[in-house]
Amino acid sequence: MSRRGKRDYSQALANARANNLTSDGKPLSTVLGHNGRPLAESDKPNKYRNEPCQDKDGRKFDSKKERAIQGLLEMDPDNAAVLRQVSIIVSDGAKPVRMRLDHLVITEVHKDGSFCAYFADTKGMEPTQGWKDKVKMLENSTGLKVKVLR
């Protein structure tokens, strides 16, 4: 292909994308999956075979199991509140690491604003060693426990 041919093709492709069309004129929505990636990539299952889903209120969850556990935690009368997708920075004196846990379950709130709580994380498989190391750092630095829910 000549230089001019490559340039013409690149320009046509740029124009098609700007108009939400593929290079052969089809709408992009017909060749892209729900996540905006090409259909061949989006049809590939997740690493742990979890399926993202929503509850009836429209809240998005990483898996059906996480959605079910969230419902159980919210229905438990012993829990004052349940927060989702809690991100926390933990450090053992070395490099700080971000850890995202599925739930922060608040069991008791005191008059001065302090509270009793624990973290809960949904796992469908055995946790990795890296995750276990982060949990140890979190428990040592905050004093809060992490429960693995299956």
Angle, CA 11 vertex, CA 9 and CA 12 arms, to 5°: 65
Within a domain: residue 47? no
**Res 125: pLDDT:** 86
Q: Tens of pLDDT along 74-126?
A: 999 999 999 999 998 888 777 888 999 999 999 999 999 999 999 999 988 88
Q: State percent of the chain over pLDDT 70.
A: 70
**Res 97: pLDDT:** 86
Structure tokens at 148: 């693995």
Q: Is 20 helix (H, G, I), strand (E, B) or coil?
A: coil
Same domain, 78 and 145: yes
CA distance 22 to 35: 17
Question: What is the sign, positive or negative, of the torsion defined by CA atoms of 51, 56, 116, 91?
Answer: positive
Same domain, 81 and 137: yes
Residue with tokens 């898996």: 63
- Give me the number of domains the chain comprises: 2
Same domain, 140 and 116: yes
**Res 107: pLDDT:** 93
Which residue range is the domain that position 97 belongs to?
53-149
**Res 91: pLDDT:** 81
Stronger pLDDT, 47 or 117, i.e. the higher one: 117
**Res 16: pLDDT:** 59
Look at residues 109, 126, 119 and name the one whose alpha carbon lies nearest to residue 143: 119
| CATH number where 124 lies | 3.40.1350.10
